[in-house]
Structure formats: structure tokens, C-alpha cells
Structure 1
Amino acid sequence: MGMFERDQQVFANAEPLDDSYEPEDIRERDEELEKYQRALQPIIDNRPTSNIFLYGKTGTGKTVATKFMLSHLERDAAEYDDIDLSTVWVSCENLSSSYQVAVALVNTLRENQTKERISTTGYSQQRVFDLLYEELNALGGTVIVVLDEIDNIGHSDEILYGLPRARSNGYVEDVRPVIIGISNDFQFRENLSPKVKDTLAEKEILYPPYDANQLRSILEPRAEKAFYEGVLSGEVVPLCAAFAAQDTGSARQAIRLLREAGELAQAEDADTVTEEHVRDAQEELEKNQLYEGMQELTTQGHAVLCALAYHQALNEVPIRSRDLYERYVNICDRLDTDNVSERRVRDHLSDMNMLGLICVYERNEGLSAGRYHEYELDVPLNAVLDVLLSTNRFEEIANIIQSTATDNDLLQSGISNY
């Protein structure tokens, strides 16, 4: 017997439990899909189309719905001789400016034509935009530009001003650019410049978190395909749905929990996936989720987390947002990135509290000072530094924080402390 043998008792086909799996239909999003269809209908009618922005936390179906709708749109558009439709998709996960997004768009368009890529440095922003317009002109027709996780660009929103106005400004001729923006940040639009808000004139579609019944509906057909018949005990799918609904309302979290429970049962050579496997899987994923939560923060979110980590290293916590804000602004200056208002910093802190990364304490000093909040990390400082050190942009500052914490004997042992 070898060390590895093919599983023949738990997973029949694990693909439906993979993050990249695209289901045949989208469950529990009928209202959102109807709005999406109405927003895309003008393309089939061959008339001007509004930009579309989807807002919702991670795992609420924005990206999978977009892939689903665009696949149908492309297939249906092919039936009409007078529709010339192209789609270009860019993930902005590691892009923090309009310049970087424009470079990524140029290179994605050039890949489709086997043309030489352009460098990420060495061009002025206007030159990169000109190259983008050249590529769009070469395509012609309606070009849907999908910008996934667009909130990562923060205040650097020139791409959202330039693309919608490219035709009216004469930068492109027989091209109709349509932006589909996907954002994990409900507040993203509020931080756009007034001219960008006016130019976008977008249709907004909100994706709220799923409840337990919706998550169960999403899990059931995947579980049926993924596991051998009779392997899952009756409480497994409802419990996975309940755990995810109580936490984030994320379908992705529920699916990962189901897969992890199956893998634990497989490792034990068990014939059945049980409630106990789900509870063990939940405990394991909670640890991983903290790391993922930190890694998925935007550049601004990382800067706020970095500022709080700095005060943690100095043993200056819990700390008020007004005091934290000064350190945050200094970090943004050091990174040569725009800073946001103190109110937006509090929004980021609220998001991190929801992710379980920080603690928030409400103080009431009476008439003299009134009510206010103080903040500190709710995860080991070492775990935060691990994430920051793995992010090139924050590596230098993370090293400084690490040295400061070591000097103050405050560096915790890391993952073992979870």
C-alpha cells in the first residue's frame, strides 16, 4: 500500500466544492439577477448602456452572478449580426491605483491578441490611458470592462472618470465602453470624487448576506454532486449553513466548511460525515478565516490595521480613533498613498471588528467627554505582522513594528495563541 490512495468513500466529485466552480444556475438571487438582466438589456437592444456596480461582502454571489450573466449575454448577443460585444475582466485585488488598473487592462487586451505586454512602470498615466484607448479602438463595438474588487483603488479613481467619457472626449470612435464594478465595500461610492460619481451614472445592485435557509438551498445541490450517496448525515448541510449565516452570511464560507468537514472525515477513514466533523471544521476554519480576513482587506484597510498594530507594539492600546488617525496618516505618507477621512477610518475599524480582528470598547465619560470608542487587536500581533510582511507594500513598516514589539517584549507567539 502506498502513502496516498484515491478516496472511494467520501468525495464522489469535489469540484462543486471548489471556489472556482461555476454552477449551472444561481440560487437565492432572483431579485438581483432580474435587476442585472434589466441593466444589461440595452446591449441586446443595441443602445447606450449604463455602467453597473455590484456591492456586497465577500461570498454573497457578486462575481459568480456576473460570470453567469455575461456568459448568457455573450451567447445571446451572438445571435444578432449587428451586435459586436467583447468582455475584458481584471481583478483589482493587488492593484491600488487607476494607473495599475489601466496597465492591467492594456495587458489583458494585448494577451488576447498575442501582443507584447507593457511594463508596470516607466509610462505617464496619460500615456497608459492612450494605449488603453488604442486597444479599445482596435476591438470596436461594445466592450464590457469588469473591474472585480474595484474598491482597492481607493481615491485613485481616474479610470472611472476616463473610461465612461472616452467616447464623448473623442479618445475612442466606434467603441462603447461599459464598466461593471464589483466592490466588497458598500461605502466605496461615497469616497469617489463628485465628477466621477456624475460621470459613472451607474445602476447599483446590492447583494446582502445570505440567511441560513438560502445557504442551505445553495449547499444542497453541491453536496449531492460532491459526496457519495449516504455519506452525509442529515444534520451536516443545515449545520454548515447555520454556522456561515451566523458569522458572515457568505456562501463561500459555507461551502468551505462543508468541504473541510468532508476532508476531516476522509482523514479519519470515516464512512460518514457527521455533525462533529462540521464542528471541528468550523474551529479550524475560524483560525484560517482570521488570516484571510486580514489578507482580503483593501490597501486602506491594511494601513488602518498597520496603524493599530503599531500602537499595539508600543503598548498604547486601547486607543481612540482620533489618536490612531494620526499614525494612519503618517503610514499613508510613507507609502505614498492617499489617506481617507477619520470617519472612513472608523468604517474600516468597524469592518475589522465584524471580521473578529479587533476589539471595540465603548466609553462614557459623562458630560465632560461624552461617549467614544477605543480599539485594540483581538488577534496576536505576530499574526497581523505575518500578513503585513507577506504584502510587499507593507513589508518595511511591518519590520519596524516587529522590531518595536520585540524591544518592548510584546511580540506574541502567533498562531498557537488562537
Structure 2
Amino acid sequence: MPGPFTDITDTIFSNKEVLNESYQPEAILKREQEIEEYRYALQDVLFGRDPENVMLYGKAGLGKTAVTTYMMDALNDEVQSRDEADDLHIHNVNCNSKTLFMIIRVLVNKLLPQDASQFPKRGLGTGDAFEELYQQLDRVGGTHLFVFDEIDHLDEVDTLLYELPRARSNGHLTDARVGIIGISNNYTFRKTLSPKVKDTLMENEISFSPYDATELKAILKDRAEQAFVEDGWEQSAVGMASAISAQDMGNARQAIDLLRVGGEVAERAGDSCVIDDHIETARELVQRGRLANRIRDQTDHSQYVLETIARLEKRDDTPARSKEIRETYEQVAESWATTPLTSLKSIQDHLADLHMLGFLQRDKRNQGRSGGQYFEYQLDLDPELVIETREKIEG
């Protein structure tokens, strides 16, 4: 008896992995200037000198991490043939949802000998962790590059960026050299650093600007040639995905997602070639997926408030004041077996945050001396999508 997969014999993809977010291309396209700046910032490593610090800025999907991985691999390969260069050690850490202690502990444990006990999770402080890190760095020796991705998510970033760059000049290190590479989605991240950290860091700044449609088209064409079978995609479909992404955020990740989902749409329809119609369908699916992820990222009560306004919207009861929203919010929270917030101010805070994030429209009303000023809110999204996403989250 045939099984549910028996009739699946053909695929439009020849190498679908090149369309995954985790794929690291062998060659980086359309980032020649950034690679050149990176090259000169790292050249001291080749001559056994202290590495310079580097900070990369740019929104998600602009190639910061991919370029960094490419440059670290290339530098590591080159160091092998350079007599003047020290042994190179590259340490990659994502700072999202981590404390400074957690990060330093991870680095210490990576450097410890295999037979050594792990640095404890509790009982010691961040200062103890730094002290152990310095001991292990000097024991290993060589040049150490610390790549901190999403560094702007770290609360105690001033301490990290003050301690490590000064470790050698402060006498904490003798045999090891260190350099920092920070990757941030926030262009204004440097402004948040203390003056003493800015003076200590003296970093090279590399800014990644959004891709234009021509650049995205070149990137997508390269991926399409690898990802799909021969004659499995049309040039116009690649052009359409590039144009959509360029008009939105100039984001290569979004463009590649459109191409991948477009291929999946074509395959489900039994078509042998990705065309414009498949990309159009993919755009709706990708946008819904991105929006659903943004909703999931909000706190529980922010989601309840958002769902409340979606339900009011479906009843044509918006725009609505916070007092009017409160009653339905309480019903929504209780429907999900949660005790609602009791303070109107708390609900107003959530409304303000959701407006700031682009979920809600807010209009200021003025009723003069008798009525005073107040805000009215309405949804800036499809209410069906909000309700559907909320039900999936709770289900």
C-alpha cells in the first residue's frame, strides 16, 4: 500500500540549503567596500601586532554576520602561512538574552583545558570571571579576536568594552593579544557608550547600508542558480523578489526568503518553474510570518491589549479610548485564564508601546476645557491576522 510520500518523486530544488538563513556563501557579493575596510582594520594580526577593534553597524539582513564569518575564515587561513603572525583564536558569542557574567563564563570554559573543571555558574562574580579569563588567555597565548554579535543587547556592555581592550595595558595580559569585533543592528549604539569606553575602544566603524534592487538581484541570481534545477526559475521572478525587498528594507535575508518561499509555492502547485505569481504569493506569506513573529515577541499583556483592539476593530468599535479598551481587555485576559492588569495606567503604557512599535494608530483628541485631551487608538494591522496569530500562540 502506498504511503503519504510515495508520489513525491520530483523537486524544483537542487540545493535548497543555499536559501536557508544559516547558509554561509563562499563568496560575498556586493559588499566590496565593507570587505576592504574590514581588511585594513584586521591587517595588524598578520604581523603579530595588537589587533584593532572593529564595530559593524546595520539593520538585520544586510550581511554583517556573513561578511564577518567570511573575513574570520580568510584571516585564519592567511595566518597559517605568515611567520610573523601569532596563533589566531576566534571566539564567537551572541549577546542576545545573556548577562555579562554568562558571556565571560562561556569564554572561560571554552579556553580551559579539557580535563579542568568548568567555571561555576554560581558563587563567583563577574570580576572573578574576568580574572580567570585573563589567566586562560595568557596560558593559551596568541591573538584572540572576540566577535560579539548583537552586542547592543548586552546591559553591561560598558564594562565589557572597557575591560577587554585595556587588559594588556593594565597588566592583566602578558602573552596574549585581544581585539573586539562588535556587531550591532543599532546605528546609534556608540552614542550609548560612556565617554571612557569610547576613548578606550578607538574602534574602526564599518556601516552596512541597505542593498538596492540591482545588488539584491545579483545576490538572488547567484542563489537561484545554485538552489533550483535547470530552468526552474524565471529572471522576472528574481527581479520581482529583489524589487519588493529593495522597496521594503533593502534586506537580503527578506529577498532570499521570498525566493525560497516562492519555490515552495511553485512546488506545492506542481509547477516546474518559479514565476512572478509565485513570488507574489510568497510576499503575502512572508509578510504574515514576519508580523506573526513580531506579535509573539511582545509580552503576554501587550498581546492581550493588541487582541482586544483587533476584536474591537472587527466590531467597528474603533477608534477607542483606553477606558473603552479596558473592559474588553479584561474579558480577553480572562478568556485566556489570566488575571488582567488592574491599573488603567498599565494598559495605557502597553498602548503607548504598541503604538511606538507600529502596531497601532493613535490620534490626539481635544474636547476643550470641559473634556480635556485624550488619545484614541485603532489597529494598523489586519485584525484577522492578529486574532489568528493569538489563537495559534495560545493553542
TM-score normalized by structure 2?
0.78
Does the C-alpha gap of structure 1 residues 126 and 156 become closer, same or farther in structure 2, counting only changes over 3 Å? Answer: same
Match of 2:44 among 32, 42, 45: 42
> Where in structure 2 are the equivalents of 1:202-281 lying within 5 Å?
202-281=203-282
Give the letter aligned to residue 31 of structure 1.
Q
Match of 2:90 among 79, 83, 87: 87
Residue matched to 1:59: 61
CA distance in structure 1 between the partners assigned to 2:73 and 2:300 by the alignment: 40
Percent of matched pairs sharing the same residue: 37
Deviations 1:56-104 (A, max 9, x none): 1110000000011111111111112232211111111231x32222122
CA distance in structure 2 between the partners assigned to 1:233 and 1:179 by the alignment: 43
Residue matched to 1:339: none
Whether contact under 8 Å (1:92, 1:147) holds in the other structure is yes
Does the C-alpha gap of structure 1 residues 156 and 233 become closer, same or farther in structure 2, counting only changes over 3 Å? Answer: closer
CA distance in structure 2 between the partners assigned to 1:86 and 1:186 by the alignment: 28
Does the C-alpha gap of structure 1 residues 377 and 261 become closer, same or farther in structure 2, counting only changes over 3 Å? Answer: same
Does the C-alpha gap of structure 1 residues 138 and 190 become closer, same or farther in structure 2, counting only changes over 3 Å? Answer: same
TM-score normalized by structure 1?
0.74
CA distance in structure 1 between the partners assigned to 2:151 and 2:377 by the alignment: 28
Residue matched to 1:142: 143
CA distance in structure 1 between the partners assigned to 2:205 and 2:375 by the alignment: 32
**CA drift at 1:250:** 1.1
Structure 2: any 5+ residue segments left out of the alignment?
310-320, 326-344
CA distance in structure 1 between the partners assigned to 2:378 and 2:81 by the alignment: 57
Secondary structure of the corresponding residue to residue 144 of structure 1: strand
> Where in structure 2 are the equivalents of 1:16-415 lying within 5 Å?
16-84=18-86, 85-95=88-98, 97-110=99-112, 113=114, 115-293=116-294, 316=322, 352-353=357-358, 358-359=359-360, 361=362, 378=380, 412=387, 414-415=389-390
CA distance in structure 2 between the partners assigned to 1:133 and 1:105 by the alignment: 10
Whether contact under 8 Å (1:318, 1:376) holds in the other structure is no
**CA drift at 1:4:** 2.3
**CA drift at 1:157:** 2.7
**CA drift at 1:374:** 8.8
Max Rg structure? 2
Deviations 1:169-193 (A, max 9, x none): 1112111110000111112111112
CA distance in structure 1 between the partners assigned to 2:265 and 2:253 by the alignment: 18
Whether contact under 8 Å (1:380, 1:414) holds in the other structure is no
Whether contact under 8 Å (2:17, 2:23) holds in the other structure is yes
Secondary structure of the corresponding residue to residue 179 of structure 2: strand
Whether contact under 8 Å (1:145, 1:178) holds in the other structure is yes
Count of aligned pairs between the two proteins? 355
Whether contact under 8 Å (1:150, 1:181) holds in the other structure is yes
Deviations 1:102-152 (A, max 9, x none): 122223334x84654334433211111112212212221210000011111
Deviations 1:369-396 (A, max 9, x none): xxx9998764589999xxxxxxxxxxxx
CA distance in structure 1 between the partners assigned to 2:324 and 2:95 by the alignment: 33
Deviations 1:330-368 (A, max 9, x none): 99xxxxxxxxxxxxx99x976x33xxxx23547598xx9
Whether contact under 8 Å (1:240, 1:278) holds in the other structure is yes
**CA drift at 1:316:** 2.8
Give the letter aligned to residue 264 of structure 1.
V
Give the letter aligned to residue 121 of structure 1.
R
CA distance in structure 2 between the partners assigned to 1:35 and 1:186 by the alignment: 17
CA distance in structure 2 between the partners assigned to 1:131 and 1:256 by the alignment: 43
CA distance in structure 1 between the partners assigned to 2:90 and 2:174 by the alignment: 18
CA distance in structure 2 between the partners assigned to 1:207 and 1:51 by the alignment: 17
Secondary structure of the corresponding residue to residue 157 of structure 1: helix
Does the C-alpha gap of structure 1 residues 64 and 277 become closer, same or farther in structure 2, counting only changes over 3 Å? Answer: same
Give the letter aligned to residue 83 of structure 1.
A
CA distance in structure 1 between the partners assigned to 2:50 and 2:151 by the alignment: 23
Secondary structure of the corresponding residue to residue 62 of structure 2: coil
Q: Which moved more, 1:214-223 or 1:286-295?
A: 286-295
Whether contact under 8 Å (1:236, 1:278) holds in the other structure is yes
CA distance in structure 2 between the partners assigned to 1:255 and 1:318 by the alignment: 43
Secondary structure of the corresponding residue to residue 322 of structure 2: coil
Whether contact under 8 Å (2:360, 2:381) holds in the other structure is no
Q: Which moved more, 1:69-78 or 1:40-49?
A: 40-49
